[in-house]
Structure 1
Amino acid sequence: MQTKRVLRKKLALLFLGIAIVPFLLATTQALVKFQNSQRESIILQERRIASDAAKEIASFIRLQFAGIESIDEFQQHFPENEQFHQALIEHTLFSRGDFFELSVVSREGKELVRAHRIKVIAHSDLRDWSNSKEFHTVRKDRRYIGPIFWENNKPFFIIGEGTFSSKNEFLGAVFAQLDARVMQSIVRGLSVSEEFGQASIFDRNGTVIANQDFSKVALKENFSHVGIVAEALKSEERRAVAGIFKNEQGEEVIGASEPIRVLFGDGSSGVTLDTAWFVVAEIPSYIALASVRDSTIFSLVILMAVLFAAIIAALILARRMVKPIEQLRQVIQEFRDGHLEYKISLKTGDEIEDLATSFYTMADELRVSIKTITEDKQIIEAEKHQLERIISGITDAVIVTDIEGKIIIFNKIAEALTGYAMRDVMQMPVDEIVSIWQENSRLKIMAVYADRSRLSNGILLQRDDLLLLGKEGREAHVNLVIGTIEDGKQVNVGRIITLHDTSRERYLEQLKIEFISLVAHQFRTPLAIIKWGLDDLIEGGRFGKVSAEQRKFIEQLTMSGDHLIRLITDILDVIHIEAGQFGLQYVPHSLKDLVEEVYNDAKDLAEKKGLEFVYKCLSPQFPLVSIDPSRMRLVLQNLLENAIKYTPKGGKVLLTISLKGSQIEVIVKDNGIGIAKEYGGRVFEKFFRSPQAVRFQPGGTGLGLFITRNIIAMHGGKIWFYSEEGKGATFGFTVPVYIPPKDATVGALKGKTQ
């Protein structure tokens, strides 16, 4: 009796160990792996945020250099023409919102002309650059990017580019003073969510120059002794760094840094210009690893529940199984040796006897099943080899997993796309090899739910424009299709993943956009010079007075030039919108004043066409709105010009403005040709013009309403229309009322309603 009790205890401990130890080991290993994976994922995320910010700032600087390249080009042909230079830089200054000041400097370092956005520059105000660092740098290295400096409580920096003849002789330079607050806008855009942390920009002294908290920038706080900033400053050649650090509050953060470098040109022939700045993206560890902490607590709760259940089950099983255990062991031993016909009589009257009977029945069925399985296995192997041959000939990457998500087929295209060899990934979990991202979230292949009732031809998921991260961080843009087959469980096939590489298609699309942008820029500058020359002819400039017939002809040329310039400007705006580079300069402004200005400008056009043009202000007062006045003016001009253009002589155009709660609403209504119902869904598409509009007014690009819709969306507003063919159209939009910051001075805002 004592022996049985000891055996029961041993058996109970054995069952307990079998139940708990593997579970504990697996849980611990999974938690450690999950924590490491989460940490690496966050580091990769912060690297990407820092890299995106650095690229965006570099792209902004490169775009500004492109703006002054046109001045360089004309300086080579008209080096001594100060009047021409003055007109050219003033045109460039006020046509580009990011330039604050422009200067043209001679080869001796004397300032020939200078234009300022606010100040009027007299001849006596011209400066001598000959001893400046900027002048010597552009003379030696062609280009210059200066450090941040403050002027009237605003941050600025200077860029410069030298002008050289075809024989590489230095002819002079062009310098531009830029508003550095664009970097503040970039980091705010990257710090909108606590989930992704925040981004900052520092100079090589560790002083913050852009941060979500602008007070730190205004106070010029220095972080050279803090965490990742100190590591970035210590790194050789200012390389990117990433890892876990302590921030200024002593908190543990996960972060990455990326130096800002500007590449001019393409590939190996390009020139990289180093700036004095680098981007830091970081997120507190307690936020980044919150899911790991929650998983650990949940696992501990589950472990305690499993432990309690295992103890009870072990005690019960040990008590019931101690007597016939040896007999069952003998039966199992015989079965293991392949003697499936072996039987022994067990008369216990309980589940053990039933178990023994089941064993015998199972042995009989197993003998039959072994033969069937052997035959089926041969058939399955033949079909598998045939499937592998078919998949190897497919031009897309194809990966097949088993029911557990382990890779069983990996074709040659998948090897080329991911960088992994087939021999290295077989029987590996597919989610460890294939890392697919949609925006900032990773897509787990085996997490896709196989709901048969929702299947369409076996497809579980179909997504386009995803990012595939392969071996050693190799990136590719792909279209993804995840599917399954009806009898997948029977042949041990879980998922069939198809990846179509769209990287080259995206590359060609980018080349097309860059080509159109380049051509548009190259056209716009010569057209501006031609228009300047025609205006000079009309005004009776250096070539004397013109006759009435000549003036009429020149005015027609000027109108055609203005049309081309407007067309090119629209095309560039569309390119900037689609590239996410359509920058807006938001300021508190009166929308009512802006509406009245545009109305007054458009009255002559309406009167010449013989239209009744009416403006109504439907509210007594209007608060300010936060808008970019020049862009909002473009919206109003597009809507009014369309209404006037497509309304026949004798028709009516009505412009109204009203306050609707926290929104200001502007409506433009006409009784013109209208828009047919079948074309209503395409009105805001780029390049779209309805057949009625083309017949009534052949000229036009179909870009105005596309640009208008995007500008309104960027202001947080909404735009809509309703129309009936032959009875006119009504277009309306709303803009939210400006809400001042909490720390704004009451006196500074007093009396700002209209």
Structure 2
Amino acid sequence: MFTTSRGISLILSVAISALVLAFLSLMEQANLLILLVAWGVSFSAAYLLISFTLEYLVFKEIGEIYTLLEKIQRKDLSEIKDKGRKGSLSPLRKINKVINSYAIARQKEIDTLQKNAEFRREFIADISHELKTPIFATQGYIHTLLDGAIDDKQVRMRFLKRAAKSLDSLDILVQDLLTLNQMESGVIRFSFSEFNLKELIDEVIEELEHKASKRDMHIKFDFEADKSYWTNGDRQKIYRVCQNLIFNAMKYNHNGGEVTITMSTHKNSIQVDVKDNGHGIPPEDLKRIFERFYRVEKSRNKKEGGTGLGLAIVKHILEGHKSKISVSSTVGKGSIFSFSLPMVKRDPSEEKLKVVSS
């Protein structure tokens, strides 16, 4: 009883009221009624003040500190939240706040470590799967040739071509991994210069038109002819961004579909939208499509080709240009990938001079 706030308050109140009563009893004017009233008032006031002080400024804070320490000891930090209380009169509140902040920081570290561990597990599984396919295919072709098929000229050439194709796929995968790793670590430097973004997209379309024609697919390029589309960036890497986005729009589109590239100018930027009318991306996959090796349709990844690193590389290239890639999609209707680059304003006479010289 005497270790609780009420017990301590009772003892101190009795002591204070007794002192008050003893002091008043020394006065000649004090009668029994006055002494009883003074004792009652002093006892009640002392009890209320001491009880409130101990309960809300001491014991409550100590209780919360013990609760926090118990959760930390049990490593149960999931329910710890920053209450953000300010202006408290309790000197223990600062200690409570420090412990609470420490627990929240540790919980964030644990969450980050768990996410990283999950990412590592997924990455190791993905890279093992991606490497296994071309390696096993090449092994199969080579061992078949070594087992006697090498004597057949037609079989030999066909298997060697298939083995070479598998090794080319493996080389592309390794190069993409190295490129992505170098971008993330800051090893790759960007070489910025001014270039015409429209001409760059024209080159990408010309490169991919042959693949589009094989699937009876139409690539449409919308832009305003009287506008200037000069920008400042790493031309080679922006070429890869456009190449990857347009190729993906073709890859995940249906035969006879349409890919539309729209380029528009704003006050100080040029926006590029790559739209397809293909399969679309489910909402649960939209947040993950820029992760390494993440594919929306796992069963179709080998049929469609690619390393699964293209969008991750696109994301890092645009981040290096202080830009972002955004995506909106409707399942069954298609997707739109968008990004912006800074617009460089050029003198019209300089544009005409370039056209004449070319």
Q: TM-score, normalised by structure 2?
A: 0.58
In structure 2, what is the Cα distance between the partners aligned to 1:602 and 1:583?
27
Deviations 1:491-523 (A, max 9, x none): 96454433144778878959x98xx89xx9xx9
Summarize the Cα distance change of 1:551–1:726 in structure 2 as closer, same or farther, 3 Å threshold: farther
Matches of 1:675 and 1:364, distance apart in 2: 77
Q: Which runs of 5 or more residues in structure 2 are unaligned? A: 1-18, 30-36, 139-151
Match of 2:34 in 1: none
Deviates more, 1:682-691 or 1:558-567: 682-691
From 58, 72, 78, give the equivalent of 1:395: 72
Supply the distance in 2 between the matched residues of 1:618 and 1:750 (Cα, whole angstroms).
17
Q: 1:644 pairs with 250, 263, 266, which one?
A: 250
Select 1:555's aligned residue among 137, 153, 161: 161
Query: Offset at 1:612?
Result: 3.0
Conservation of the 8 A alpha-carbon contact between 2:196 and 2:231 = yes
Equivalents in 1 of 2:267, 2:252: separation in Å?
32
- What is residue 724 of structure 1 aligned with on the other side? 330
SS at match of 1:395: helix
User: Aligned partners of 1:640, 1:344: CA distance in 2, in Å?
Assistant: 104
Tell me the equivalent position of 2:313: 707
How far 1:568 sits from its partner (Å)?
3.3
Aligned 8 A contact 2:282 2:331 in 1: yes
Once the two structures are superposed, residues 467-513 of structure 1 have per-residue CA deviations (whole angstroms, 9 ceiling, x without a partner) of xxxxxxxxxxxxxxxx79xxx86896454433144778878959x98
CA–CA distance in structure 2, aligned partners of residues 362 and 693 of structure 1: 88
Go from structure 1 to structure 2 and tell me whether the alpha carbon gap of 1:507 and 1:391 turns closer, same or farther (over 3 Å shift): closer
- Alpha-carbon deviations, 1:64-101, whole Å to 9, x = none? xxxxxxxxxxxxxxxxxxxxxxxxxxxxxxxxxxxxxx
Once residues 257 and 62 of structure 2 are traced to their aligned partners in structure 1, the CA distance between those partners, rounded to angstroms, is 76
Counterparts of 1:731-742 in structure 2, within 5 Å, are 731-738=337-344
SS of equivalent to 2:72 = coil
Work out whether 1:589 is the aligned partner of 2:273.
Answer: no
Which amino acid is the alignment partner of residue 215 of structure 2?
A: K
- Look up the SS of the partner of 1:588 in the other structure: strand
Aligned counterpart, 1:611:
217
Say which structure, 1 or 2, has more relative contact order (CA 8 Å, 6+ apart): 2
**Aligned-residue offset at 1:383:** 8.3
Q: Over aligned residue pairs, what C-alpha RMSD do you find?
A: 5.4
Count residues with an aligned counterpart: 293
How far did 1:343 drift? Answer: 6.4
Taking structure 1 as the reference length, the TM-score comes to 0.31
Q: Counterpart amino acid of 1:460? A: K
* Structure richer in strand, relative to its length: 1
Cα deviation, residue 624, structure 1: 2.6
Measure the CA separation in 2 of the matches of 1:749 and 1:648: 39
The 2-side partners of 1:363 and 1:568 are apart by: 89
1:460 aligns with 2:83: yes
Partner SS, residue 336 of structure 2: strand
Shift of 1:601: 1.9
Q: Which runs of 5+ in 1 are unaligned?
A: 1-334, 346-360, 399-455, 462-482, 532-545, 741-746
Distance 1:373 1:658 in 2: 71
**Greater Cα shift, 610-619 or 690-699:** 690-699
Q: CA deviation at 1:635?
A: 0.6
Task: For 1:401-440, list aligned pairs within 5 A.
Answer: none
Q: Is the 8 A contact 1:645 1:697 kept in 2?
A: no
CA separation in 2, counterparts of 1:387 and 1:724? 49
Preserved contact between residue 606 and residue 612 of structure 1 (Cα < 8 Å): yes
Residue number in structure 1 paired with 2:23: 339
Distance in 1, Cα, partners of 2:191 & 2:345: 16
- Distance in 2 (CA, whole Å) between partners of 1:611 and 1:732 is 21
Identity of paired residues, percent?
23
Question: Structure 1's 711 and 377: CA in aligned 2 closer, same or farther, altered over 3 A?
Answer: closer
CA distance in 2 between partners of 1:344 and 1:581 (Å) = 94
**Offset, 1:392:** 5.3
CA distance 1:362–1:460, shift in 2 (3 Å): farther
Q: Residues of 2 paired with 1:727 and 1:490: CA distance? A: 61
1:78-129 superposed Cα distances (whole Å, 9 cap, x missing partner): xxxxxxxxxxxxxxxxxxxxxxxxxxxxxxxxxxxxxxxxxxxxxxxxxxxx
**Alpha-carbon distance between aligned partners in 2 of 1:600 and 1:674, rounded to the nearest angstrom:** 25
